[in-house]
Amino acid sequence: MRNPLIIMIITFFPIIFLSFTHKNKTIQTSKAADVNYIIPNDIQEIINNSCYGCHNNDSKSIKSKMKLNFDKLSTMKIGKRVGKLNKIHDVIEENEMPPKKFLKKYPDKSLSDEDGEKLASWAINMASQYINE
């Protein structure tokens, strides 16, 4: 009598356990996916003027598009996207982008203080929304 009971417990326990685990993972994933990746028009204009020329699929600078590619940002996994958004914030705050060498050749691509603050603020706010979900 004990053998069939033990066999039933051994057989069904992992199935029940895995079904609960799977449901929890689905709930966690859907919360993060609920945060929309949104670039407001004013931020998109800043990106287009000062960033997108080097950070896109068609860029000639392999290093630039490897570090950040705006064309791929919306399709990245949430954790990687948060990292990229935090990095955008950091390099803008440190005044590292656009690079000084680049700006000597293309001064019109410079970020004004106001545009830099807007872009950095958008990036950190988007990253925070993903983390808080």
Q: How many independent structural domains does the chain possess?
A: 2
Instruction: Indicate the pTM of the whole model.
Output: 0.71
For 50-93, the pLDDT digits (tens) are 999 999 999 999 999 999 999 999 899 999 999 999 999 999 99
Over residues 103-112, the pLDDT tens digits come to: 999 999 999 9
Domain ranges, residue 8: 1-34
Question: Which tokens go with 3?
Answer: 């053998």
Is there a single domain that holds both residue 58 and residue 10? no
Same domain for 95 and 47: yes
Please report, as a single letter, which amino acid is at residue 3: N
What is the length of the chain? 133
**pLDDT tens track for 117-132:** 999 999 999 999 988 8
Distance set, CA 118 to CA 29, 47, 54 (Å): 29, 11, 20
If asked whether residues 30 and 40 sit together in one domain, one would say: no
